[in-house]
A and B are shown apart, each in its own frame.
Chain A
Amino acid sequence: GENVEQHPSTLSVQEGDSAVIKCTYSDSASNYFPWYKQELGKGPQLIIDIRSNVGEKKDQRIAVTLNKTAKHFSLHITETQPEDSAVYFCAASFGNEKLTFGTGTRLTIIP
């Protein structure tokens, strides 16, 4: 089955700087790669996603890049703000099948 690794597990960034979180996946058949933000005591919220036919996608301060050959995908947050502090999860799936989640990254934005 699919295995998703995520790094780093914790990340502290000065407000205004950029944050990058990286994930690798094992199943080359996976074609959908979402990123979720989870705040304490809440369910995950989709912040951006990418499909395997696209190499990069951007939404304001958030971008995701995908390298299918290397089976890597990364989340980039620019101009970080205190409200970006949360736990971020990457995930991978094939079609509409189950999502496999990474281990999570606790992002702390230092004011």
Chain B
Amino acid sequence: GAVVSQHPSRVICKSGTSVKIECRSLDFQATTMFWYRQFPKQSLMLMATSNEGSKATYEQGVEKDKFLINHASLTLSTLTVTSAHPEDSSFYICSAQTEFYGYTFGSGTRLTVV
């Protein structure tokens, strides 16, 4: 089946720094990538939708200048959290969508900002 490789699985960064999360689709091309954020004991909340070669579409309330999404190729999408603050600490999950495989989720990244 389809696999989305997400890295890193855990990252700790200092307040004010930036951190990049990568999601790679293995053995398939993902035209659409969804990025979610999940706080403890809560559901997945969609942050943005990205299509290869296009600007990402952000959900209401998500700061596009803070959460930079790049989907430069059909197999790689990245989320960069800029100027991270403790309130950005969360579990970030990507999901690739294709006609054939449907939605395939990455394993998630636990971000802790100290």
| A interface residues, Cβ below 8 angstroms from B | 34, 36, 41-46, 49, 89, 96, 98-104
Contact = CB atoms under 8 A, between A and B. Distances in A.
Interface residues of B, number: 21
Interface of B: 6, 32, 34, 42-46, 49, 91, 93, 95, 97, 99, 102-103, 105-108, 110
Nearest to B94: A43
Contacts of B42: 103-104
Q: Is the interface of B mostly helix, strand, loop or mixed?
A: strand
Contact of A49 (B45, B49, B102): B102
A42 B107 CA distance: 5
A25 to B, nearest CB: 14
Which of B6, B44, B102 has the most CB atoms of chain A within a 10 A radius of its CB? B44
A99 B34 contact: yes
Nearest to B98: A96
